[in-house]
């Protein structure tokens, strides 16, 4: 018997391969979540794209990427932006 949480996570990661869904997911975390929730959301998007592949594209060590994307992580803006862009997304600011 599979665990419900595992099924949820695998389905989430499958869906987050879609750039539009990944964009909406990250934007929701930016708008309504805490810093920790944003980092976990970005980690999920990275997992959907493959952590090793994403780290390679971002030009950072995979272990370091996992550490900065943990709920306790505190990445530099340059690292955060590099990770975002390695998933095919862009960081932008918009007037409210």
pLDDT of 96: 81
The distance from CA 59 to its chain's CA centroid, rounded to whole angstroms, is 16
Find where tokens 């550490």 sit. Answer: 67
Identify the pLDDT of residue 6: 73
pTM: 0.89
4-35 core/surface letters (b: 16 or more CB in 10 A; e: else) = eeeeeeeeebeebeeeeebbebbeebeeeeee
**74 φ/ψ angles, rounded to the nearest 5 degrees:** -150, 70
- The predicted-structure confidence for 37-96, as pLDDT tens digits, reads as follows 999 999 999 999 999 999 999 999 999 999 999 988 999 999 999 999 999 999 888 898
Distance between CA atoms of residues 45 and 54, nearest Å = 10
């Amino acid at each position: 018997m599979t665990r419900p949480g595992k099924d949820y996570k695998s389905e989430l990661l499958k869906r987050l391969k879609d750039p539009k869904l990944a964009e909406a997911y990250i934007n929701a975390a930016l708008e309504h979540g805490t810093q920790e929730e944003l980092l976990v959301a970005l980690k999920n998007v990275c997992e959907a794209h493959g952590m090793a592949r994403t780290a390679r594209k971002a030009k950072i060590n995979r272990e370091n990427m996992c550490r900065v994307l943990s709920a306790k992580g505190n990445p530099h803006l340059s690292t955060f932006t590099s990770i975002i862009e390695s998933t095919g997304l862009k960081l932008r600011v918009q007037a409210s």
